[in-house]
Structure 1
Amino acid sequence: MNHLQPIQIKEIILHKLMMRLKAPFSTSFGTFQDKEFFVIEAIGESGLIGWGESVAFSSPWYTEETVKTSEHMMEDFLIPLLLKKPVNHPDEVSERFLPIRRNNMAKAALEGAVWDLYSKQLGIPLSKALGGTKKEIDVGVSIGIQDSMEDLVQLIEGYVEEGYKRVKVKIKPGWDVEVIKELRKYFPNLPLMADANSAYTLKDIELLKQLDEYDLLMIEQPLAHDDIVDHAILQKEVKTPICLDESITSFDDARKAVEMGSCKIINIKIGRVGGLTEAKKIHDYCKQKGIAVWCGGMLEAGIGRAHNIALTTLDQFILPGDTAGSSRYWERDIINPEVTVHKGQIIVSDNSGIGYEVDREVLRRYTVETKIFK
C-alpha cells in the first residue's frame, strides 16, 4: 500500500488506563504512584491500527493540561475533526487541529496514532517515516530529589554501572551548588546536568554562576516555565549552556528563543509541542542553527516510549534523551517486546510503525474505561 492512498480512519478507541509506577514520583503538587493516561487506537479502513499515548498528568503541575482536560478536548473537538475526512499525510493533522488553541498533549496523542498508522500503511518503521537514520540511540537517566546525599550517590553509581550515558539531577534552592560540588567529587567525568524546573529567578544569577565551575552539560529551565526573555539575560551571564523545556511549546517559541539567545540546547517533548510534526520542525530548525536537541520523558508507557525512540533517530538529537527502559518504570509494560537498554543504548526496531506490538491482555488489565468513536 503506498502513501498516496489517503489515511481513512473508520474508528478511534480511547482506552483510559491506570498503571502503577514501580516507585512514587514526587512533584510540587505532592507524590503519586498511579499514572492515569489514554491509549489511542486508530483503526484504518485497511484494518491496520495506529497507536498513540497521552502524556498529560492528573494534575496541572507540568503544563495546564490534565488527563480530564485531554479527554474533553479529544472527545468533543479533536476526534470529530479527525474523523471528518481522510488525511493524505500525518502533517495535515496539526493543520486540521489549528482552530483549537493549545491543548498540545491532547493533539499529540491523536496525531501519534495517525503517524503510526501512516508508517504501517507504507510498511516502514516510524523512525524512517520521520526521516530518522540512527540504528541505536543513547539514553540518559533522570533522578528526582533524594532524602540524602548518600542516597543520591548510591543511585547514580547504579546507573553508571548500567551504562547510562548521562545523568540528570533535580536541583532547587537549598539543594543545588553543594550537591553538584559533592557529585563532582564522586563522578569527575560523568556527563551531568541539573534540572531546575523553574525554581529560580534573575535574583539568583550569582548562585547559578557558581555552577559554571562544575562542567555541567546544561542547566535545564532554571527560570519561569513560560519565559524566554529572562533566560536570554541569564545565558549571557553564565558559561553553562541553558536548556529550555517548558518554555518551548511550538516551533515559533523555539525560533524566538534561539534568536534571542535564551538557550543553547532545547529539550523536545512530543506532547508538550503538540505532536511529531511540530517536533520535527523544531528539530530541523535547531539543526540549521546549530542548537543541540534531546528528547525528554513524561513517564511514558510503551507506546509513548516507542514514539520517543523513533523521534530520537533524527540526527540533531545529539545528546542522550530520558527514554530509559520499560522495566525502570513498570512491572509490566503494555508492549511486546518491552523497551530494553543495553550499555546505555536502545536498539531501534526495524518493524513497521512504532516497532512494538501492543499486548492486548496487559492493555485490558490496566484499562479502567473504553470509549469508541466512529
Structure 2
Amino acid sequence: MTIPLNRMVVRKLRMRLKNPFKTSFGTMKDKEFFIIEAMDSQGNKGYGESVAFSIPWYTEETVKTTFHMIEDFFIPILKESVIDHPDDVSDLFHSIRGNNMAKAAVEGAIWDLYAKRKGLSLAEALGGEKKEIDVGISIGIQPTIKGLIHTIEQSLKEGYKRIKLKIKPGEDVHVLQKVRERFPDTPIMADANSAYTLGDMQQLKALDDLNLMMIEQPLGHDDIVDHAKLQNEIDTAICLDESIHSLDDVRKAYELGSCKIINLKIGRVGGLSEARRIHDFCREHGIALWCGGMLEAGVGRAHNIAITTLPQFVLPGDTAGSSKYWERDIVKPEVITEHGVIKIPDKPGIGYEINEEVMDGYTEWVKVYKFD
C-alpha cells in the first residue's frame, strides 16, 4: 500500500535541559533539534526527531548539516519517489553517503505515519513483542564524588535498573572505586566516549576489579580493530557505540571479536529499518543489545521505546522519563518511568500526542514543503 505523502514540515526547536550534561566531550545546557512531520493525503501525521548536536563532538553531523541534508537532498528525493513501506526510505537514501542522523529523522516520521495508517503501534509495526521495557539512566561527570553518589542514590530510589557513568582519564578508576564501595551490587557501566587509547591499557585493565556490566566505547570513535585487541586483554565486556553505523559494522565487529555488547542508537545507524536489521543479526549471533539515548525530547524518546520492544534488547536502555531531562516535554502524556519500567503505549504510531502549545513555545522557526 503506497504511502501518499502530501507535505513535510520541518520545525526547529531549542529546549533547555533541567541540568547541564557533562561528558568527556564537553557540557551541554540546551538541545537544538528538528521535529519532522510527514502528512499523507488523508491528513494523517507522522513525527520524527533529529538527534545531532550543535557541535560535532559525537559524530560529524550537526544541527545545521541536518537541515541542509533534509532540505537539499532527502525531501527532493521523496518528492520524486513512490513509497510503499518505510524500509523503502533507507533504500532511496542509500546513494547519499553518511548523514545517518538526518536520514533517521525523516525516516522516523514516515515509520510513524505508516504505523498510524495501519492502525498499529510503532512497536507492533516494527515487530516488537514486549509490553514494557526496563530502563537505566545515564549520569554525566559530576563536580564531586559526593554529588555523584547522591545522584546515584536518587536514581536508584526512582527504580532505574542500571546506572551508566561517564568517565575520562583522570576521572575514572578512583571515582568508580568509590561508587562501587557505596553500591557493591548495583548494575553499573562506564561510558568513555572514546577518551582512551591502547596506551591506557593498564588503566583500563584496572576496571576488571570493579565488576562492571561493560565499558562503552573506550577507544577511537571510528575504531573496531583496536577494540578487538583491548577486548582480548580485559575481562570487562566492551560495548561499542560510536563505531557502529550500519549492519556491516556490526558484522565486522562480531567477526573480529571487538565487543560483546552493542549500544544501538537509531539516529547513529540511519533509522529504524537499519536498526531492525542490526537487531536481527545480533539475535542470530547472541550479541546483547540495548538502546542508547541522545538527550531526546518526547518524539525521539517514543521511537527509542518502540525499537526496544524487540526481543534482543536484553539490557536496560537509556530512555529515562521526560521529567528527568525537561521541565515540560513536547508530548502528552509525557514519557513516564515507574520503578525503572516504561509501559509501551498501544495507540497507533508512536503512542503519544504532540503537545502543540508546549512545542510552539520551544519553536524557533517552521518550514513547510508541499508534495502536490
**Do Structure 1 and Structure 2 share a fold, with TM-score over 0.5?**
yes
1:341 is the counterpart of 2:337: yes
Q: How far apart in 1 are the matches of 2:326 and 2:48?
A: 18
1:84 is the counterpart of 2:80: yes
Q: How far apart in 1 are the matches of 2:270 and 2:211?
A: 33
Q: Describe the superposition over 1:21-77 as per-residue Cα deviations: whole angstroms up to 9, x where unpaired.
A: 111123455433121100001011121001000001111010000000000000000
Counterpart of 1:127, as a letter, is: A
Q: Describe the superposition over 1:178-234 as per-residue Cα deviations: whole angstroms up to 9, x where unpaired.
A: 111111111011000000111111111121111111111000000000000000000
- Offset of residue 175 of structure 1: 1.2
- Offset of residue 362 of structure 1: 1.2
Q: How far apart in 2 are the matches of 1:27 and 1:50?
A: 32
Contact 2:22 2:142 in 1 (8 A): no
1:32 is the counterpart of 2:28: yes
Counterpart of 1:340, as a letter, is: I
1:310 is the counterpart of 2:306: yes
- Offset of residue 241 of structure 1: 0.4
Contact 2:24 2:168 in 1 (8 A): no
SS of alignment partner, residue 42 of structure 1: strand
1:136 is the counterpart of 2:128: no
Structure 2 partner of 1:258? 254
SS of alignment partner, residue 129 of structure 2: coil
Counting only pairs closer than 5 Å after superposition, residues 157-172 of structure 1 correspond to structure 2 as 157-172=153-168
Contact 1:27 1:61 in 2 (8 A): no
Per the normalisation by structure 2, the TM-score is 0.98
1:239 is the counterpart of 2:231: no
Contact 2:23 2:140 in 1 (8 A): no
Q: How far apart in 1 are the matches of 2:24 and 2:205?
A: 25
Counting only pairs closer than 5 Å after superposition, residues 38-117 of structure 1 correspond to structure 2 as 38-117=34-113
Contact 1:10 1:83 in 2 (8 A): no
Task: Name which of structure 1's ranges 24-33 and 296-305 shifts more when overlaid on structure 2.
Answer: 24-33
Structure 2 partner of 1:269? 265
Structure 2 partner of 1:211? 207
Structure 2 partner of 1:283? 279
Contact 2:330 2:354 in 1 (8 A): yes
SS of alignment partner, residue 353 of structure 1: coil
Structure 1 partner of 2:148? 152
Q: Describe the superposition over 1:127-171 as per-residue Cα deviations: whole angstroms up to 9, x where unpaired.
A: 000000100000000011111110111110000111100000011
SS of alignment partner, residue 89 of structure 1: coil
Counterpart of 1:67, as a letter, is: V
Q: Describe the superposition over 1:105-144 as per-residue Cα deviations: whole angstroms up to 9, x where unpaired.
A: 0000000000000000110100000000100000000011
Structure 2 partner of 1:118? 114
- Offset of residue 85 of structure 1: 2.6
Pair 295,32 (structure 1): closer, same or farther in 2 beyond 3 Å: same
**5+ long unaligned stretches in structure 1:** none
**5+ long unaligned stretches in structure 2:** none
Contact 1:94 1:111 in 2 (8 A): yes
Pair 30,176 (structure 1): closer, same or farther in 2 beyond 3 Å: closer
Q: How far apart in 2 are the matches of 1:234 and 1:35?
A: 34
CA RMSD of aligned residues (A): 0.9
| Identity value in percent | 64
Q: 2:15 aligns with which of 12, 19, 35?
A: 19
1:195 is the counterpart of 2:191: yes
Q: How far apart in 1 are the matches of 2:24 and 2:201?
A: 23
Q: How far apart in 1 are the matches of 2:162 and 2:246?
A: 26
Q: How far apart in 2 are the matches of 1:83 and 1:187?
A: 54
Contact 2:24 2:192 in 1 (8 A): no
Counterpart of 1:92, as a letter, is: D
SS of alignment partner, residue 263 of structure 2: strand
Per the normalisation by structure 1, the TM-score is 0.98
Q: How far apart in 2 are the matches of 1:89 and 1:317?
A: 24
- Offset of residue 176 of structure 1: 1.1
**Residues paired across the two proteins, number:** 370
Counterpart of 1:169, as a letter, is: L
Contact 1:105 1:271 in 2 (8 A): yes
Q: How far apart in 1 are the matches of 2:174 and 2:153?
A: 18
Contact 1:8 1:85 in 2 (8 A): no
Contact 2:243 2:249 in 1 (8 A): yes
